[in-house]
Amino acid sequence: MTGTNGGPDFAGLFRAAGVTGLLHAVDVDTGAEVSCGADEPVVLASVFKIALMVEFFRQADRGLLDPAERVTVMADRHTPGPTGVSAMADDVTVSLRDLAYLMIAVSDNTAADTLAGRVGLAAVNTMLAGFGLDGTWVEHDCAGLFASVVADSGREDMPTDPAVISRLRVLDPARTNRSTPRETAALLAAIWRDEAATPASCAWMRRLLGLQVWPHRLASGFPYDDVAVSGKTGTLPTLRNEAGVVEYPDGGRYAVAVFTRSYGTAQNQPRADAVIGTAARAAVEHLRSPAL
């Protein structure tokens, strides 16, 4: 089965997993690409942390901040979240770049907001515009996202009631941090081509993205010891995203951005997580096929 542009049947893969999905995959070195709705606006959720990381390292490159500077994050000033500093009980003193590690490796919301306070969201948007990523926009930090969910749902846990979910503004790309699959993949490709910041900073960013712990989405599609998968997930009610880079032993490297929205509202949907990997592998295999 093939899709409309001669690529794999992405829509069929997504449908079989109970989600709708959008995807863009690009060969980092040749620019060959395959996609499914590459230019549709998508909700970034935590994938916006990639852009925040890029601007953080660019400011470090310019000497505007010292990545080794130690800051104390007070326990009573946490942004809600299930991982990292967000889940810790006590004040934490940690370097800015280690906060960047926590923000990427375990999607730590408090780490992200601490960096956002230092870097400034306006600076992130200026950086994105400078790269010509006009469809990518950071509207709020994690605390802002959380406040929006609470305002719309009237509760502090993530809702599963379809009626509540249908009125969440953070699920509408026009009202929250947004991008397109193509632009998200382009930002990652720039990190892998040493174009997003200095080569040293790009190498650091690649290391952090390679340290991300979640195995259930993008990485699940590439169960091979000799293939590296680096990425950043994004999760909100019914939304499951991951954008990353897949590197093969022959040197082939592919930036892939996958954004899904499930029909079901259950939080645990392993098949919806796994189809991100399945679709990404279909895309990468298409880009690696000799016919192309």
Partner 1 sequence: MDLVKHLRYFTVVAEELHFGNAAARLGMAQPPLSQRIRRLEEELGVRLFDRSSRQVRLTGAGRAILAEAGEILVRVDRLRVLAGRGEGAVLRVGVPPDLGSAVIAALIAGFEEAGDDVRLAPAELWSADQAAALASGALDVGVLRHPVAAPGLNLGPVLVQRPGVVLAASDPLAAAPSVHLADLAGRRLVLFPGEPGLHEETLAECRRHGFVPEEVHEAQTLGLVMAGAAVAFGPRVELPGLRWRPLLGAPLAWRISTAWRGEASPAAVAFGAVAVRVLKENAGMTDDGAAPVRQVRARPSSGFLA
Binding site for partner 1 (CB under 8 A): 15, 17-20, 41, 45-46, 80-83, 87, 106-107, 109, 122, 125-126, 129, 134, 137, 139, 142, 145-146, 149, 157-158, 160, 162-163, 165-168, 171-175, 178, 214, 216, 233-236, 238, 261-269, 271
**Which residue's CB is nearer to partner 1, number 67 or number 144?**
144
Taking the complex as a whole, the smallest distance from the CB of residue 126 to partner 1 amounts, in Å, to 7
Token pair belonging to 70 = 């130690």
Phi, psi at residue 250, to the nearest 5°? -85, 5
**Which residue's CB is nearer to partner 1, number 17 or number 191?**
17
Taking the complex as a whole, the smallest distance from the CB of residue 266 to partner 1 amounts, in Å, to 7
Q: What is the DSSP letter of 164?
A: H
Taking the complex as a whole, the smallest distance from the CB of residue 24 to partner 1 amounts, in Å, to 19
Residue 52 CB partners (closer than 8 Å, separation 6+): 103, 112, 115, 116, 119, 124, 138
**Which residue's CB is nearer to partner 1, number 118 or number 175?**
175
Assign 64 to helix, strand or coil: coil
**Which residue's CB is nearer to partner 1, number 137 or number 254?**
137
Q: If you search the block for the tokens 């926590």, which residue do you land on?
A: 102
Q: What does the alpha-carbon distance between residue 249 and residue 232 come to, in Å, rounded to a whole number? A: 21
Q: What does the alpha-carbon distance between residue 218 and residue 278 come to, in Å, rounded to a whole number? A: 8
**What secondary structure does DSSP assign to 86-116, as a single string?**
GG-SS-EEEEHHHHHHHHHHS--HHHHHHHH
Taking the complex as a whole, the smallest distance from the CB of residue 187 to partner 1 amounts, in Å, to 15
**Residue 262 contacts residue 18 (beta carbons within 8 Å):** yes
Taking the complex as a whole, the smallest distance from the CB of residue 173 to partner 1 amounts, in Å, to 7
Q: What does the alpha-carbon distance between residue 71 and residue 84 come to, in Å, rounded to a whole number? A: 15
Amino acid occupying residue 253: R
Q: What does the alpha-carbon distance between residue 15 and residue 165 come to, in Å, rounded to a whole number? A: 20
**Which residue's CB is nearer to partner 1, number 199 or number 215?**
215
Amino acid occupying residue 145: L
**Which residue's CB is nearer to partner 1, number 93 or number 268?**
268
**Which residue's CB is nearer to partner 1, number 71 or number 158?**
158
Taking the complex as a whole, the smallest distance from the CB of residue 12 to partner 1 amounts, in Å, to 11
Taking the complex as a whole, the smallest distance from the CB of residue 20 to partner 1 amounts, in Å, to 6
Assign 239 to helix, strand or coil: strand
